């Protein structure tokens, strides 16, 4: 019995090791041990508590997961509790990539400009790792050194929405921005205002006196405003209703959903922003196809050419658009004698769209 044990032990030793002719021991891998996964890895770092907004950030998450499932990629998606926690994770990520000695391809996607200072100071550290790549979203300014940037201008789609709204009877709109510090938000509101004012200039003097457009900021000084308390949202909705506004256009991320949930108590018209909002209270939605943009960038990354150093995906390339929920009732054209209520025609819609594409190109300096 003891001999059998010794033989068995000896057999195990032989199984696990062998020797070269120089006498060096080579240990063979355990066939039952799980090997390291070498599939490409996509990691996303969001702003603090960004996931769960049922808006821009969730669209990124869903788009990446959909593409990863189709292409067989691994993913890690991080939504830190605070910005400081997000910076700590980014620092850890850069250190790991500087020290990595494997050949696993990794793409890091930074989904918030709140990390701008850190990214621009540290992105060159990735140059020591040929298998690590960086994609930084929602910035017009390319990175110096390693990394790609993507900007999805909202100006054109917002211009188109504002231009359409100005053709309706008695347009009175409250634009709601998260804050004045986020470039994409400021640009979006400017686009809507420019489109609205362009449409108003075409109205007669009698029509013009019924128009109204104002802007309200949820965070006047900081970078917040992407979430809002129920009590505050309901107070604002009732205030805007009392002031005579009919249409609310909230460019404020997850705060949009708070307004949408409480609006049934007030009954204002609410434009969908970032995603298609199918509701009785919504005339149209201004959509940003950020999930599709993520799919495009990941496929570029996996291709031989890689992600362009900087790219802009907006209205001209159909990454943003205005979707009408129902026919738009407009001011009767001069001399109109029809028996039906006049609505926005396809010809009018196409002309407005082409105008918005041109205006976005001018705004972006293309």
The stretch 148-166 carries a mean pLDDT of 97
Q: Are strands 247-251 and 272-274 parallel, antiparallel or unpaired?
A: unpaired
Mean pLDDT along residues 285-304: 96
Residue 178 near residue 252 (C-beta atoms within 8 A): yes
pLDDT exceeds cutoff 90 at 99: yes
- Cα 37 to Cα 40, 95, 106, 170, 264: the distances in Å are 9, 20, 12, 60, 49
pLDDT in the model for residue 30:
53
Residue 110 burial by CB count (10 A; 0-12/13-18/19+): exposed, middle or buried? buried
- Binning pLDDT at 50, 70 and 90, where does residue 3 land? very low
Instruction: Output the CA–CA distances (angstroms, integers) from residue 305 to 147, 213, 215, 300, 317, in the order listed.
Output: 14, 46, 43, 7, 20
Residue 76, C-beta contacts closer than 8 angstroms, at least 6 positions apart: 41, 42, 43, 44
Q: Is the pLDDT of residue 9 over 50?
A: no
What's the mean pLDDT in 117-139? 96
Q: What is the pLDDT of residue 23?
A: 41
Q: Per-residue pLDDT averaged across 125-148, rounded?
A: 96
Closest-CA residue to 162 (of 275, 25, 365, 328):
328
Q: What is the pLDDT of residues 234-268, one digit of tens each?
A: 999 999 999 999 999 999 989 999 999 999 999 99
The yes-or-no verdict on residue 54 having pLDDT over 90 is no
* Residues written for the chain: 366
Digit-coded pLDDT (tens) for 162-193: 999 999 888 899 999 999 988 889 999 999 99
- The pLDDT, as a whole number, for residue 32 is 55
Q: Is the pLDDT of residue 334 over 90?
A: no
The dihedral built from the CA positions of residue 32, 33, 39 and 44, taken in this order, carries a sign that is positive
Task: Kindly indicate the confidence band of residue 223, based on its pLDDT and cuts at 50, 70 and 90.
Answer: confident
Of 166, 191, 188, the C-alpha closest to 177 is 188
pLDDT of the residue at 25? 41
**Residues 125-150, mean pLDDT to the nearest whole number:** 96
| Pairing outcome for strands 269-270 and 148-151 | unpaired
Percent of the chain with pLDDT over 90: 72
Q: Which whole number is the average pLDDT over 221-236?
A: 94
By the 10 Å C-beta count (0-12 exposed, 13-18 middle, 19+ buried), 198 is classed as middle
- Which domains, ranges and CATH numbers included, belong to the chain? 41-151 (3.40.50.2300), 155-287+327-332+340-364 (3.40.50.2300)
Q: Is the pLDDT of residue 110 over 50?
A: yes
Summarize the confidence of residues 205-228 as an average pLDDT: 88
pTM: 0.85
213 has pLDDT over 90: yes
Phi–psi pair at 109, nearest 5 degrees: -110, 120
What average pLDDT does this structure show over 78-83? 93
pLDDT on residue 202: 87
Half-sphere exposure of 22 (CA within 13 A, CB side): 3
């Amino acid at each position: 019995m003891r001999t059998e044990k010794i033989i068995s032990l000896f057999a195990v030793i032989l199984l696990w090791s062998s020797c070269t002719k120089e006498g060096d021991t080579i240990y063979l891998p355990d066939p039952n041990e799980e090997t390291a996964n070498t599939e490409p890895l996509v990691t996303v770092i969001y702003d603090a508590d960004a996931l769960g907004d049922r808006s821009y950030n969730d669209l990124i998450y869903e788009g990446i997961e959909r593409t990863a499932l189709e292409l067989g990629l691994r993913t890690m998606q991080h939504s830190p509790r605070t910005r400081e926690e997000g910076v700590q994770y980014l620092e850890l990520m850069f250190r790991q990539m500087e020290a990595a000695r494997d050949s696993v391809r990794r793409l890091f996607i930074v989904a918030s400009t709140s990390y701008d200072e850190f990214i621009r100071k540290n992105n060159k550290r990735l140059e020591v790792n040929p298998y690590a790549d960086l994609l930084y979203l929602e910035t017009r300014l390319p990175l110096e050194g390693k990394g790609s940037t993507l900007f999805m201008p909202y100006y054109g789609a917002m211009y188109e929405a504002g231009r359409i709204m100005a053709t309706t009877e008695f347009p009175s709109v409250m634009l709601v921005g998260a804050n004045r510090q986020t470039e994409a938000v400021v640009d979006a509101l400017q686009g809507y205002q420019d489109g609205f004012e362009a449409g108003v200039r075409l109205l007669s003097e009698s029509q013009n006196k019924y128009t109204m457009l104002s802007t309200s900021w949820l965070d006047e000084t900081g970078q917040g405003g992407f979430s809002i308390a129920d009590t505050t949202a309901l107070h604002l909705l009732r205030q805007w209703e009392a002031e005579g506004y009919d249409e609310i256009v909230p460019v404020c991320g997850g705060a949009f959903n708070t307004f949408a949930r409480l609006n049934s108590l007030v009954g204002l018209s609410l434009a969908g922003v970032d995603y298609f909002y199918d509701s009785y209270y919504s005339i149209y939605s201004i959509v940003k196809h950020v999930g599709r943009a993520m799919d495009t960038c990941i496929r570029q990354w996996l291709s031989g050419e890689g992600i362009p150093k900087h790219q802009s995906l907006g209205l001209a390339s159909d990454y943003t658009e205005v979707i009408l929920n129902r026919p738009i009732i407009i001011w009767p054209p001069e001399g109109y004698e029809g028996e039906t209520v006049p609505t926005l025609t396809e010809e009018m819609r196409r002309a407005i769209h082409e105008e918005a594409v041109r205006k976005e190109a001018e705004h972006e300096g293309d």
